[in-house]
Structure 1
Amino acid sequence: MLAKRFSQFVISSRTNAIMMALIFMALPLFGWLGVAVVALVTLRKGIYEGFIVLLWSALPFVVLLVAMKDWWPFLIAIGFNAVVVWLLAIVYQRYHRWALTIEISALLGVLIVCCIHLFVGDLQHWWLVQFVQEMKMAHLHIDQALIAKTLGAELKFMTGIMVSLIVFADVCELMLGQYFNSLLLEKKVNAVASLKQFTQKTFAFLNRKAFKETADQWTEWRLSLTSIVVLLIGAVLAWFGPAIFKDIFPVLLMPFLWAGLSLMHGFLNHWKLSNVVIALVYVVLVLLLMFVPVLLGVFIIVAILDSFFDFRKRLEM
């Protein structure tokens, strides 16, 4: 299996890990694999080794920073992405709890939003300028006042939405790193895997001894009432408070989206659907979310209700 050989190659030496992280981080559209390498090394070899690989993986963006005098590519790729994944890998390696890891990811997202507001200032104006520049680069001459009028409401939440997407990607990259890590613990299995093995491979929980515990964590965890209270406070502050809380609110929603996905996957497991059907469900879900983003709200509402009613237990009954 190519993924397993790749994992073995990365873990075999520090040089190999650094080389792979450097190559992928330097290649456009493949940076996520470089970050997954950082996560794999951290999960497998510990904090220090992961940090060494993280430092080397930042080299392409340091060069880009020096050449372009632009901090944003470095901050997004390294500060908001690679460093966050490294920290989340430390949390998961220590506690082996996805619920806690995802909640920590939201906390880190809130800190990122606060830092951006601290150093940038008027973010609505900043986003407006970015949109105008993009329009000019595309040779589309649209009046700035028209853009401000059209995107007025969205601009208030734009930073929070973008940070939420970055943090969501961070968790996905951690899952990929854990997938690579689990392959190193996997014994040989038949080419045709069972549904449980398919689920394990999909979500990177193939450690045979720890699989049941980790898989159950993913498909059975629910958010605590404390998380719901924090979300409600965030909603009130986003409506009545300073502008920064409008950007914090989307980040607070991310754990609930993950909880909704966890609930859905638990139902798919319970119904013992075939591998093909499970794959099709996720393909259709991605397409629907692209064209009907309001479905995100459905997942969030269901996750909140699940915290009170425990739909999994009711399904088993």
Structure 2
Amino acid sequence: MKALAEYVMRGRTEAVIAAALATGTVFFAWVGAAVIALVTLRKGSNQGSQVLLWAMLPAVVMAAMGDTGPVTTLLGVMLAAIVLRSTNSWSWALVAGVTSGLVTALVLLTFGRGYIEEILRLLSDALAQLQSQNSASTPLQLIQPTVLQVAGLLGLTNAFTVVMCLILARWWQAVLYNPGGFSAEFHGLRLPPALSIALLLVGLVLSALGSDYRLLAVILALPFMFAGFALVHGLAAKKQLGSNVLTMFYIIWLLFAPVKALLLIAAIIDSWINFRGRVATKG
């Protein structure tokens, strides 16, 4: 991956080639988005927008064929990279990722009903096949998702992908120009109290509207999730814990839902208390 970043930073032509080729694939469009973010973070929005323009060509072709993911990811990553470069704040970069996800869901609901209905048709066929294969003695109770739920899921996927591509681009930038800088930056990620409260209130309002809106509320929880990861990494670094501890943490986080909830709560409390600062003071 470092070799790819070095190639991209040789010049605009190399960045355009890497971004356009990656975006034109099915499985590596996220690499093209990360390339655009890297150029934007290092050289500014003017250079980044030129690379984005060329990468959008295969993305638009894929959108015409029914896959709008690359287009929304490229635009979302560009927005998040501009915010991170201008503010140097991961908190606001995460808000940009949330904005990208919410806008993606809204645009799909407004202009992409056919795309969502096609997904629903495929899901309906898959659910019907599962029910037909299931024995009559143990019937499956499978619930068909709604249009709003599918839009929320696609928006959530977009927001998560945007943030992950931005993280990769920032890591590339640190490896090339500021070794060790990404770790220090990520370990210090903590949401401001006012932003934390605002995200929490909007998320609770969306959840209260019903099950159809809960995936939209989950999009607003992404900043807390990444802030929670930063909290765990920061504490592990201060306590000089090995990578095995972090690996075990992620395994437990993936397997147990209560751990996910506890991490979100810890991130909310940390925005007010600053656990890492207290550990540093005691040290």
TM exceeds 0.5? yes
CA contact (8 A) 2:6 2:176 kept: yes
SS at match of 2:26: coil
CA contact (8 A) 2:60 2:71 kept: no
Aligned length: 276
Q: Unaligned 5+ residue runs, structure 2?
A: 134-138
Task: Give the whole-Å Cα distance in 1 for the aligned partners of 2:113 and 2:25.
Answer: 32
Task: Give the whole-Å Cα distance in 2 for the aligned partners of 1:49 and 1:14.
Answer: 8
**Share of identical aligned residues, percent?**
24
SS at match of 1:223: coil
2:169 is equivalent to residue 172 of structure 1: no
Residues 225 and 185 (structure 1 numbering): CA distance in 2 closer, same or farther, change over 3 Å? closer
2:230 is equivalent to residue 230 of structure 1: no
Residues 76 and 225 (structure 1 numbering): CA distance in 2 closer, same or farther, change over 3 Å? same
Task: Give the whole-Å Cα distance in 2 for the aligned partners of 1:308 and 1:64.
Answer: 44
How far residue 82 of structure 1 moved from its aligned partner, in angstroms, is 1.1
Report the TM-score when normalising by structure 1: 0.74
CA contact (8 A) 2:80 2:97 kept: yes
Residues 131 and 314 (structure 1 numbering): CA distance in 2 closer, same or farther, change over 3 Å? same
- Listed as ranges, the matches of 1:128-167 within 5 Å are 128-135=120-127, 140=130, 142=132, 150-151=142-143, 157-167=149-159
CA contact (8 A) 2:38 2:172 kept: yes
Look up the equivalent residue of 2:265 and give its one-letter code. Answer: I
How far residue 86 of structure 1 moved from its aligned partner, in angstroms, is 1.0
2:100 is equivalent to residue 108 of structure 1: yes
CA contact (8 A) 1:109 1:251 kept: yes
How far residue 111 of structure 1 moved from its aligned partner, in angstroms, is 2.3
Residues 242 and 295 (structure 1 numbering): CA distance in 2 closer, same or farther, change over 3 Å? closer
SS at match of 2:177: coil
Deviations 1:48-91 (Å, cap 9, x if unpaired)? 2211211222232333345x3x2xx1x21122x11111111111
1:21 pairs with one of 10, 19, 22? 19
1:246 pairs with one of 189, 214, 220? 214
Q: Unaligned 5+ residue runs, structure 1?
A: 187-196, 207-213
Task: Give the whole-Å Cα distance in 2 for the aligned partners of 1:123 and 1:297.
Answer: 32
Residues 121 and 25 (structure 1 numbering): CA distance in 2 closer, same or farther, change over 3 Å? closer
SS at match of 1:272: coil
CA contact (8 A) 1:219 1:263 kept: yes
CA contact (8 A) 1:25 1:34 kept: yes
What's the counterpart of residue 118 of structure 1? 110
What's the counterpart of residue 136 of structure 2? none
Deviations 1:112-143 (Å, cap 9, x if unpaired)? 2232333356999776434124457xx64659
Q: CA RMSD in A?
A: 3.2
How far residue 151 of structure 1 moved from its aligned partner, in angstroms, is 3.1
What's the counterpart of residue 306 of structure 1? 270
CA contact (8 A) 1:132 1:142 kept: no
Task: Give the whole-Å Cα distance in 2 for the aligned partners of 1:294 and 1:55.
Answer: 43
Task: Give the whole-Å Cα distance in 2 for the aligned partners of 1:123 and 1:28.
Answer: 17
How far residue 177 of structure 1 moved from its aligned partner, in angstroms, is 1.2
What's the counterpart of residue 190 of structure 1? none
How far residue 301 of structure 1 moved from its aligned partner, in angstroms, is 0.9
CA contact (8 A) 1:156 1:246 kept: no
Task: Give the whole-Å Cα distance in 1 for the aligned partners of 2:35 and 2:200.
Answer: 37
